Amino acid sequence: MLLMPGPPPPLDPPLEILAPNPVTTDPRKRVFAFELEKEDWVIRLVWDADDPLLLEAECRAPLYGQRLPKGDVPKFWAAVKELIAPIGPLPVDSADPRP
């Protein structure tokens, strides 16, 4: 039997809480996400198997034309740190307070 080399198997998401999140415009993409409601906003973690070194943390709140209140920023980061604790502390490459 001769085995031909092929592409490596797809990576698994770094956190067990991440669930498949299909991309309707490109069904080949493997994107995983998790959402957690906190107070008046939602924390969303997103991981794309095509860019495995990047784990995005989003704060989704119904704020139009304004920034997240300063009191909520530490709460957001504390909740993110708690969610990613199984994989350890991660560097923050950038932070954008506005969508």
pLDDT tens sequence across 4-18: 777 777 788 999 999
pLDDT of 87:
92
* 1: in domain: no
pTM of the model: 0.82
Q: What is the mean pLDDT of the chain?
A: 86
Q: Is residue 73 part of a domain?
A: yes
pLDDT in tens, 22-59: 999 998 899 999 999 987 889 999 999 999 999 999 98
Task: Write out the two tokens for 11.
Answer: 């990576």
**How many structural domains does the chain have?**
1
In a domain, 14, yes or no: no
Assigned domain for 52 exists: yes
Look at residue 67 and tell me if it is in a domain.
yes
Range of the domain at 79: 19-87
- 84 vs 87: CA distance, rounded Å: 6
Residue that wins the pLDDT comparison between 1 and 33: 33
Q: Does 58 reside within a domain?
A: yes
Outline where the chain has alpha helix (H): 72-83
